[in-house]
Structure 1
Amino acid sequence: MSKRISAKHKIDRRLGENIWGRPKSPLNARAYGPGQHGQRRKGKLSDYGLQLRAKQKLKGYYGSITEKAFKRLYFEAQRVKGDTGENLIGLLERRLDAVVYRAKFVPTVFAARQFVSHGHILVNGKRVNIPSYQLQIGDKVEIRERSKQLAIVIEATQLAERDVPEYVDTDHNKLTATFVRVPTLTDVPYPVQMEPNLVVEFYSR
C-alpha cells in the first residue's frame, strides 16, 4: 500500500519540473509551487538545498518509495563495486514496478505499484506482488492472462508520449517483457535531468 502522504500531483509544482513528462502535468497550467506562498520569488539554493532537491526529484520520480526504502537502496548501491550513483540508478530500474512502467503495461509509476500489488504480474511464470522486487538479467515479466484485457493496460500500450527503453525487451502483443540488462544513467529515459551524484553527496554528508 502506498505511504505517500502529500498529493502526488503537487510534486511537479513543488520541484518546478514536469518530472514524468506528462501532458497533463499541473505545472503546465501553473508554473509555480503549491500553497499560498507558491508564487514567492525563490532564492538561490545552497549546496545542501541542491543535494536535497536532487534526492527529492529522483525519489519522487519512482512514486511511493519511502525515505527508509530509498536510503536502504543507497547503502546497497554504496556496497556494490563501481560508481555509487550509477549503481543506485541500476537498483531503481531493477524494481519490478519500474520495469512494468518502462514496458508501458500501465500509464504511470503510481499505477505500476498498484498493478503489481494487486497481483496482475508474473515473473518467470510465478505471481509476484511486491513492487520493490529486484529483477535479475533475463527475468521475464508478463501480465497474467485474466488481466490482459483491463482498460488500463490497453490504454497504456497505446500511449505515444514515451518509448520503451532498450534494456527492456517488450512484446505488446503477448504483453511480456524481458529485463535485458542493468541500465546506466544515460540509458534511462528520464524527461528531466537526474543528478544521482548529488544524491550521493546528500547521503555522504
Structure 2
Amino acid sequence: MDFQTTLFEAPPSGVPGLVDALSTTERHHLGAGAWVDVRRSWLPQADDVLSTLVEQVPWRAERRQMYDRLVDVPRLLHTYMIGEELPHPVLTEAREALSEHYLPELGEPFRTAGCCYYRDGRDSVAWHGDTIGRGSTQDTMVAIVSVGDPRRLHLRPRGGGDARVFETGHGDLLVMGGSCQRTWEHAVPKVAHAGPRLSVQFRPFNVF
C-alpha cells in the first residue's frame, strides 16, 4: 500500500474526547439552507484505521450500465448496515460522538456506515447527491471520515453555479448537512497521482 503514514497522529481519545474536538468544527454555509462542516485531523489512530479497513472490509467491485455496455465502477464499496459491527472500534466511537454532537440539529443518530476505497488517482465518483430515501425530501446529514492520501471533494449547486472544493486528508471529518443533498451535488474526480484513500460515510436511517 503506497501511503506515507503520519508521524504526529492524534492519540486515542474515546467518545468524550471526540465530542469535545467537534466544538472546533468550522462551518461553511453554501446557500439555500445547505452547509458543510470541516474538522481537520479529527479521527484518532488514523493509520491503524486505514490498514484495518484495507485488510478487513469485504470490499466488492460493482458494475453499472453505461449506454450499451457494462463498465466497472471506479472504486470498491461496502456498507455496514444497522446493527452490524464496524471493523475498527475507533469508527464505532466516531459514530457515537457524531450522533451525540449533531443530535440537536439532526434529531436522530447516525446508523449506517458506507465505505469507499479509492485505490489510486484513477478511482473516483461522479457528480451525485445522496437523494435516495429521505434525503430527497428532507434536510439530513452525511458525515464523512477520510483516511489515506488527500483527495478533493467538489460541490456544485444543482442547476448550475459556482463550485466549492474541500480537500479531505488523513483523519479529516467533513459533514454535509441541511439541504445539501437536495440542493447541491458532489464528486471526487480522478487525479493524475494519488495513493490509497478510504472514506466512511455515516448516515441516519433511510438516507442513501
Greater fraction strand: 2
- More relative contact order, 1 or 2 (CA 8 Å, 6+ apart): 2
Greater fraction helix: 1
Same fold? TM cut 0.5: no
Q: Computing the radius of gyration over CA atoms, which structure comes out larger, 1 or 2? A: 1
TM-score (norm 2): 0.31
